[in-house]
Amino acid sequence: MNDIKHIIAVASGKGGVGKSTTAVNLALALRARGGKVGLLDADVYGPSQQMMLGVPIDLRPEQQGGEFLLPIEAHGLKTMSMGYLVNDRTPMVWRGPMAGGALAQMLEQTLWGELDYLVIDMPPGTGDIQLTLSQKAQVSGAVIVTTPQDIALQDAQKGIEMFRKVNVPILGVIENMAVHICSECGHREHIFGEHGGQRISRDYGVPLLASLPLALSIREQTDAGKPTVISEPESEEAALYLGAAAEVEAALAAQGDSVVKQFPNIQISDD
Q: Residue 259: how many CB atoms within 10 A of its CB?
A: 13
Q: Is residue 175 within 8 Å of 47, Cβ to Cβ?
A: no
Average pLDDT over residues 47-71: 90
Which pLDDT does position 152 carry in this prediction? 86
Closest CA to 171 of 187, 183, 160: 160
What gap in Å lies between CA 18 and CA 70, rounded to an integer? 28
What gap in Å lies between CA 219 and CA 227, rounded to an integer? 8
What gap in Å lies between CA 116 and CA 158, rounded to an integer? 28
CATH of region 4-255, choose from 3.40.50.280, 3.60.21.10, 3.40.980.10, 3.40.50.300: 3.40.50.300
Q: What are 176-190's pLDDT values in tens digits?
A: 998 887 777 777 788
Average pLDDT over residues 109-131: 84
Q: Is residue 124 within 8 Å of 13, Cβ to Cβ?
A: yes
Mean pLDDT of the chain: 85
Q: Residue 207: how many CB atoms within 10 A of its CB?
A: 17
Helix (H) or strand (E) holding 37: strand 37-41
Gap between the terminal Cα atoms of the chain: 36
% of the chain beyond a pLDDT of 90: 49
Which pLDDT does position 92 carry in this prediction? 56
What gap in Å lies between CA 9 and CA 159, rounded to an integer? 11
Q: What are 231-256's pLDDT values in tens digits?
A: 999 999 999 999 999 999 999 998 86
Q: What are 11-29's pLDDT values in tens digits?
A: 987 788 999 999 999 999 9
Which pLDDT does position 219 carry in this prediction? 92
Residue 127 has pLDDT above 90, yes or no: no
The counts of H helices and E strands in the chain are: 9, 12
Q: Is residue 26 within 8 Å of 42, Cβ to Cβ?
A: no
In order, the DSSP letters of 44-55 are SSS--HHHHTT-
Q: What are 177-231's pLDDT values in tens digits?
A: 988 877 777 777 887 778 788 899 999 999 999 999 998 899 999 999 999 999 9
What gap in Å lies between CA 231 and CA 151, rounded to an integer? 32
What is the pTM assigned to this prediction?
0.87
Q: In 30-137, at which residue ranges do the beta strands (DSSP E only) sit?
A: 37-41, 63-64, 68-69, 72-74, 77-81, 115-121
Contacts of 61 (CB under 8 A, 6+ apart): 69, 70, 71, 72, 80, 84, 85, 110
What is the phi/psi pair of residue 65, to 5°? 70, 15
